[in-house]
Amino acid sequence: MRLIIPVLVLSTSLLRADDRPNIFFFFADDWGRYASIYSDPDTPSLSDALDTPHIDRIGKEGVVFENAFVNVASCGPCRASLATGRYFWNCGSGAFLNGKGSDWTGHDDPMKTLPKFVDLLRESGYFAQSSQKTFAFTSSKPSADWKAFGKPDYHRYGLYVGAANNKAGRRKRHKEVLENSRREMQRVLVGTPEGQPFFFAFGSVNVHRPYLPDTGKELWGIEPDSLEGLIPPFLPDEHDIRRDFSDYLGEVQALDLMLGAMIEELEKAGELDNTVIILSGDHGIPGVPRGKTNCYDLATQVPMIVRWPGKIPAGRRVEDLVSVLDLGPTLLELAGVEPPASMDGRSFRKQLLSKESGWIDPARDSVVIGREQHVHLSRPGGLPYPMRAIRTKDHLYIRNFKPDRWPQGDPFDTAKTNDSEELYEMGKETGSGYRDLDGSLTKAFLLGHRSSSEAADTIALTLNKRPAEELYDLTEDPHQMNNLAGKPGAGKTLTSLRRRVKKLMKESNDPRLTDAFDAAPWISPKQNKK
């Protein structure tokens, strides 16, 4: 169906009594640290296969954070942490994915009462809106023009464009996706009442599975075998796994396309340079061992790119460690609003406004990461897999509190197949076992070939039970494959990082200290019988 897009005429900047900047937060589901701006000729990576000019523009005209992480690599808890500025473990029902398997009846749920940073922006005079998958806050009432403008008929790029019957159909659907992206920004520009700046969070679900097979190659020209040698070394570097990564990277390029359309609309309205643009994601790649739901870099490292001309010096790359947890306090400070004392996040306003690159504040030497429950039926009784971790410049330390549990969920029943197309079909679901690992061609390949030595080695390292402690030297072992915990020479570092994690857990009253996450209200026996 053809979209009728009203013409938006805003030849000059919106007249405002409030001279604070607009804020456009482009926050993509499952988008790990992948963009062509992250490509490094000295360190080959999957970003080498990407062409993301619009993402790159924001970085070149702003600042790129090289070491940005999430507090937890699971979408619901990450978003709860983002909204409140709190460690995910103190977000009540928000600590678990969607709160499924829990029952908070008769219990005080902190997630309902904790202040949300966007609500504070709204109360201070911002027009606040969101679209697609974002996080908790109360939207503002739009101007009267909003309803007349209509709502975008949104489509996920690969699933929609890739399903067209021919090239003409794909071109038509490609244009529709672009029009929808423009419409998202146009609605905000039209809906913002005169005299107010806006906060707009756009949460694309493009990169979230499932994908149509081979859309990375067919829609974006990312040849799977061009990724040979770039696949994480703990995975078999096989054609089917490269196909899977190609499709993922194609969806990252679709994100770039959407972003570009939105930037154009800001530019047409004269609002681009008066808008703080933030790009980030809620965790790393889904459906890949050591990705989403883990504490390794593949799961927790995300983009953090910010542009604000005249305020943020352009062309810089900052090494300081920052967390998505820190965004709320940072944006509140930029807007002149005092962050509440309840927030655990630390503003990185200093890093944004500095003229320096590299390491700016030596005190920003670590981020804290963790995890509890993802899919509530991954283990009998709905039990979580609890982890806490600390990531420094040189090391990653992980504490696995229940090493007797399966980290990616119990194996249950897992099918076998060696046929490539059967693997792709199986990869759309693969929910019978290891349920904390999303269905994917990579997962299906490993399970279908688990008798082969390469797949067996990957499964042993990534899906099997883990020791109580893990320690990795990131300088020598960037992919975190050689656990140094308990080995000669690692004792001092292990002790130091272990103490730091324990100290923070105590200071933040982490419920895991008493194993509270294994009982009501987080775990409901009635809802976890299957």
pLDDT tens, 312-340?
A: 999 999 999 999 999 999 999 999 999 99
Q: Can you tell me the distance from the alpha carbon of 325 to that of 365, in angstroms, rounded to the nearest whole number?
A: 15
Name the helix (H) or strand (E) containing 241: helix 239-268
Q: Can you tell me the distance from the alpha carbon of 331 to that of 303, in angstroms, rounded to the nearest whole number?
A: 17
DSSP sequence for 465-506: ---SEEEEETTT-TT--S--TTSTT-HHHHHHHHHHHHHHHH
Average pLDDT, the chain: 92
Of 293, 301, 298, nearest in space to 321 by CA: 301
Query: What pairs with residue 371 in β-bridges?
Result: 387
Can you say how many angstroms the Cα of residue 295 is from the centroid of all Cα atoms in its chain?
13
Name the helix (H) or strand (E) containing 203: strand 198-203
pLDDT of residue 4: 39
DSSP sequence for 318-371: E-S-EEGGGHHHHHHHHTT-PPPTT------HHHHH-S--B---TT--EEEEEE
Sorted by sequence, the CB contacts under 8 Å of residue 372 that are 6+ apart come out as 72, 77, 88, 89, 95, 96, 384, 385, 386, 512, 517, 522
Sorted by sequence, the CB contacts under 8 Å of residue 327 that are 6+ apart come out as 25, 82, 117, 278, 280, 345
pLDDT tens, 196-220?
A: 999 999 999 999 999 999 999 999 9
- What is the residue type of 148? A
pLDDT of residue 530: 54
Of 281, 333, 357, nearest in space to 82 by CA: 281
Does the pTM exceed 0.85? yes
Query: How many residues in total does the chain contain?
Result: 530
Report strand pairing: 22-28 vs 275-281: parallel
Q: Can you tell me the distance from the alpha carbon of 348 to that of 321, in angstroms, rounded to the nearest whole number?
A: 10
DSSP sequence for 370-405: EE--SSTTSSGGG----EEEEEESSEEEEEES-TTS
Sorted by sequence, the CB contacts under 8 Å of residue 83 that are 6+ apart come out as 94, 116, 117, 118, 135, 136, 137, 328
pLDDT of residue 3: 39
pLDDT of residue 418: 60
- Main-chain phi, psi angles of 310, to 5 degrees: 85, -20
Of 269, 187, 192, 185, nearest in space to 16 by CA: 192
Q: For residue 530, what are its two tokens? A: 């299957």
pLDDT of residue 152: 83
Q: pLDDT truncated to tens, each residue of the chain (530 aa)?
A: 333 344 444 433 444 567 899 999 999 999 999 999 999 999 999 999 999 999 999 999 999 999 999 999 999 999 999 999 999 999 999 999 877 789 999 999 999 999 999 999 999 999 999 999 999 999 999 988 887 777 888 789 999 999 999 999 999 999 999 999 999 999 999 999 999 999 999 999 999 999 999 999 999 999 999 999 999 999 999 999 999 999 999 999 999 999 999 999 999 999 999 999 999 999 999 999 999 999 999 999 999 999 999 999 999 999 999 999 999 999 999 999 999 999 999 999 999 999 999 999 999 999 999 999 999 999 999 999 999 999 999 999 999 999 999 999 999 876 566 666 666 677 777 778 899 999 999 998 998 888 888 899 999 999 999 999 999 999 999 999 999 999 999 999 999 999 999 999 999 999 999 999 999 999 987 767 65
pLDDT of residue 524: 87
- Main-chain phi, psi angles of 128, to 5 degrees: -115, 125
pLDDT of residue 187: 94
